[in-house]
Amino acid sequence: MACSPTDLHFVLLPLMAQGHLIPMVDMARILSQQGATVTIITTPVNANRFKPTIDRAIEAKLKIQVLELRLPLTEVGLPEGCENFDLLPTAAQAFNMYAAMSMLEKPVENVLLNLCPPPSCIISDGGFPWTANMAKRLNIPRLVFYGPGCFTFLCVHIVTHTNILNEINSNSEYFVIPGLPDRIEITKPQAATWGKGESEESTKIFEQILEAEKASSGIVVNSFDELETKYVKMFAMAKDKRVWCIGPVSLCNTSFQDIAERGNQAAINGHDCLKWLDTQEPVSVVYVCLGSLSYATTEQTIELGLGLELSNIPFIWFIRQTSDEFEGWLLEDGYEERIKGRGLLVRGWAPQILILSHQSIGGFVTHCGWNSILEGVSAGIPMITWPQFADQFLNERFITDILKIGVKIGMEVPVLFTERDKCNDLVKKEDVLTAVESLMNNGEEGEGRRKRAKEFSIMAKKAMEEGGSSHVNMKLMMDFIAQELAKNTKLIQDIV
């Protein structure tokens, strides 16, 4: 391949977590479909998770390559192969992972110096603040990518740039986030387990991320203008940055294989799940999946299972990891035999988009990770919200108070991500039963949620179509980088 400095070449650095990796791989495919060359830099374990997807993209003549770098794990006290946050032995070792990630600066810079064509732009996850200095040294525009949407990040901006949290003494008292067009009430812990957080380590990381953001040329968001119109504009004004909403990027997946294996080729349960769903009535099944990083005690998992059983509503429940204690309870209690036909318990990764798009799905119990929210929105499915940490409580408010397509399960007390295995707040089976019955009822309120969910689904698909808002925003972002590249090229020519 001839090496021309005028070819657009985007280098993507995704954080080592499924909720960040998956949308950036989708973003890479969309960029390459628009004619750009794309390089994804990650580690071997993470690269292997989306290898089939990239291989198919390359077969389709898309200009994507994946370059693998060793993550210095033993140097920070982590076992070899522990290259993703969902592989950490304990949640507290997240700070070890960040320490390892900070040691990638020089190896990544060496890669960039030898790329052909030379990189035109770095799209870096916010979790790599060192890419700001690297981009400055190499005179390459840096765009920052965060997991959540504009509403959530605007809320974080407000609570971290005002004294509102200092004015709140109670951890259980709800207060109104100031300066928003909608009335959003939240508690101090729900607003403070992300951003500056409650620990010295997390505060330091967050401040580094904000400082790096100031030097960025703009922010790329996996959302679409029509979903949070007011908040996109307010977020851009608050940050004084260009903001491009280019999602939902999951909709770039159209083939069965790409959808089934999205983000993890280990999601091998697709065919069996679909066969089971085919036996259910339309819009009758509740899909339950609490994400790749959420944690539930055995007691909590049992309460969830019993609540689903009590509802007498069909359900499909994915548990990524189970404990010997829980498996022992299942065997002793005869749970799976009792729910046979009406409920399906699946161990492992969920082919989530396949399931959400099935005609039998009528509701989604979610941990309120932003990817899951967008996938639920894209499929037109109302949700039961079960947040635990980080941005999830703010995302919950977006679903329930702004979009009005969700029902709260009643989780009130958040935990820090690094302490998520210490969560003692129990959602009881009666709470699960109440939420499921409320979501799936055929009354005026339930029908209203379903109607609104379908309307947002239509908007999402239109946004990603040619001429849609996200399609246009992607082109505008690429045009901006092309203009920056032309300026740099001219500057070099003038100097020479």
Order of strands across the sheet that contains 37-42: 64-68, 37-42, 9-13, 121-125, 142-145, 218-221, 243-245
Q: Does 5 score more than 50 pLDDT?
A: no
**Structure confidence by residue, pLDDT tens digits, 156-194:** 999 988 888 888 888 899 999 999 999 999 999 888 766
Kindly give the pairing relationship between strand 218-221 and strand 243-245: parallel
Looking at residues 334-342, what average pLDDT do you find? 93
Mean pLDDT of the chain: 90
pLDDT tens-digit profile of 122-149? 999 999 999 999 999 999 999 999 889 9
pLDDT of residue 495: 54
pLDDT above 90: residue 297: no
Q: Looking at residue 368, what is its pLDDT?
A: 95
Residue 490 pLDDT class (50, 70, 90 cuts)? low
Reading the block at residue 283, the tokens are 């819009």
DSSP-assigned states of every residue in 89-115? SSGGGHHHHHHHHHTTHHHHHHHHHT-
Residue 20 CB partners (closer than 8 Å, separation 6+): 14, 125, 127, 145, 147
Type and span of the H or E element at 473 = helix 469-495
DSSP line for 376-406:
HHHHT--EEE---STTHHHHHHIIIIII--E
Contacts 24+ apart (CB under 8 A), 46-49: 46/14, 46/16, 46/21, 46/83, 46/84, 48/265, 49/18, 49/21, 49/84, 49/263, 49/264, 49/265, 49/266
Per-residue confidence band for 1, with pLDDT thresholds at 50, 70 and 90: very low
* Cβ neighbours around 139 below 10 Å, total: 10
End-to-end CA distance of the chain: 26
Predicted local confidence at residue 142, as pLDDT? 97
Task: Let me know: does 380 contact 462? Beta carbons within 8 Å.
Answer: no
Phi, psi of 23 (to 5 degrees): -65, -30
Dig out the tokens for 347 from the structure: 């161990």
CA dihedral over 9, 243, 414, 287, signed as positive or negative: negative
What pLDDT shows up at residue 434?
Answer: 96
In tens, the pLDDT along 364-379 reads 999 999 999 999 999 9
Residue 147 is predicted with a pLDDT of 85
pLDDT of residue 92: 84
For residue 231, the model assigns a pLDDT of 97
| Dihedral pair phi/psi, residue 17, rounded to 5° | -150, 140
| CATH 3.40.50.2000 domain locations along the chain | 9-252+466-495, 267-461
Weakest mean pLDDT among 2-6, 242-246, 292-296: 2-6
Nearest C-alpha neighbor of 46 from the set 77, 15, 23, 75: 15
Does the pLDDT of residue 277 top 60, yes or no?
yes
**Rounded CA gap, 346 and 333, in Å?**
17
Phi, psi dihedral angles at 272 (to 5 degrees): -65, -40
Residue 310: the pLDDT is 96
Instruction: For residue 144, list its beta bridge partners.
Output: 124, 219
Q: Please give the residue that has the higher pLDDT: either 487 or 229.
A: 229
**How do residues 88-113 score in pLDDT, each as one tens digit?**
988 889 899 999 999 999 999 999 99
Determine the residue type at 405. I
Kindly list the distances between the CA atom of residue 475 and the CA atoms of 3, 74, 147, 150, in Å, as whole numbers in the listed order: 23, 42, 21, 20
Task: Please tell me the number of Cα atoms within 13 Å of 166 on its side-chain side.
Answer: 6
Query: What is the pLDDT, as a whole number, of residue 195?
Result: 60
- Among the residue ranges 325-329, 346-350, 453-457, 492-496, the one predicted with the least confidence is 492-496
Locate 29 and state its tokens: 């495919």
pLDDT tier at 486, thresholds 50, 70, 90: confident
The model's confidence at residue 389, banded by pLDDT at 50, 70 and 90, is: confident
Tokens 């940055």 belong to which residue?
241
pLDDT at 232: 97
Residue 410 predicted with pLDDT over 50: yes
Lowest-confidence pick of 254-263, 349-358, 388-397, 458-467: 254-263
pLDDT, position 2:
44
What would be the CATH architecture of the domain defined by 267-461? 3-Layer(aba) Sandwich (3.40)
Greater confidence (124 vs 258) lies with 124
Superfamily of domain 9-252+466-495: Glycogen Phosphorylase B; (3.40.50.2000)
Q: Please tell me the least confidently modeled range out of 115-119, 419-423, 491-495.
A: 491-495
Mean pLDDT of 31-36: 95
Question: Length of the chain in residues, anyone?
Answer: 496
